[in-house]
Structure 1
């Protein structure tokens, strides 16, 4: 359930001419910290919308604060947000492919937003991925969906590659590293699906901790054009069979009898 955000008239006036509803939609579902105390704001906790104004750089941007920390108002500051500060939450999933299941990385992105002088928020991150061949999908389907539009594993996005080593993926474009995604949690079935040579990469906003079992927020992001996807040609860096497996069950299994075995466990 989205959090309730109180917006005062002075803040509404500060963002006059800006799509305030789009700002509120984004802030009502994503992970946020209080601009005043720095503590996290609960997903279902109420918050006040504030306008932060930097006169020197002539920009303003929206933020949230706890009701106990302050009112919905316009505040001045000598600092400005860093649009280059980005972090991801990643979930491994399986999509329907033309020749079998295709592994996917579903990424909830934070940061990479720029604010114009008028206060309009520009998504530099997704726009940047779009210039690299990422597309805005209209719909996303599970592997088991009967009406799913299957992914063509042999139709990879030009120049986009991925290197999978253990529980890390390096995403590259024309040999230049874009991002390194670590701490992946996957089952053996997901790892074996990388045999198809393709890896779907989806990057979106406000995915609510993702949970691919429910597509509600992913579909909402697709409808709002806040989700991009591409297909990377994936290469696996070999793992020694005697090494501990990197999957969810890796603490109890060797790679050779788990993800590295064709007849090993699915989960």
Structure 2
């Protein structure tokens, strides 16, 4: 059996399963401080021995295996988790291989293997929720350079009627600062679930996300774009994206039918934990090859 951890800013999902994506058991643990959360994680895996563990974590994280801080959560604003040695904390308890990547890269891996992008060698997975992040599969591999992608923090053009200053603690009015869940709540004075009937809320959201998708399309040319996260549970956001994206692209590049190209996760809310199982499988294979 393999273990998986989908580490989010509000909750950790831990599961045991196999490389086929089958999940045998899973639990949710609140993300509080490392001492509390990790104690519950370790307790779960001591009850369910596994051969390897894959971690898909909120970030930023250090994914450079040659770095002295590989396996760390780094400059996160999440209280208590900055500079946390995530991989080492697991290895200190379990002498098994550990795979490590971002939560959105894990979700992209899950969706490209078993979900909406199955059979394709490229896709983009974006989550729009408490934050905005994206993972990409390019030519069958997770995209990684100096570090992992941080596509939620690109700069976009502000709507001429939007006077909201932005929520991002680093950049104010980057994409995440203007379009993530906390920005919606602060701008409009209510949580998204209480704004369902306010069409102007979701038109503005689609306006900003369509701008971002234009840039991702022009740079990465993914074969499928998958949008997940709590904000995307508002179905009208998709309609707004479909409305604005052609105007932004202005026929510069051709795209498939947008409702088939920009879609919901095929694995639903299991994309990240399924991808984390695959990270565990990859780590186990790499260990066997040494």
TM-score between the two structures when normalised by the length of structure 2: 0.29
Q: More strand per residue: 1 or 2?
A: 1
Greater relative CO, 1 or 2 (CA 8 Å, sep 6+): 2
Structure of greater Rg: 1
TM-score for the superposition, normalised by structure 1: 0.30
Write 1 or 2 for the structure with the bigger share of helix. Answer: 2
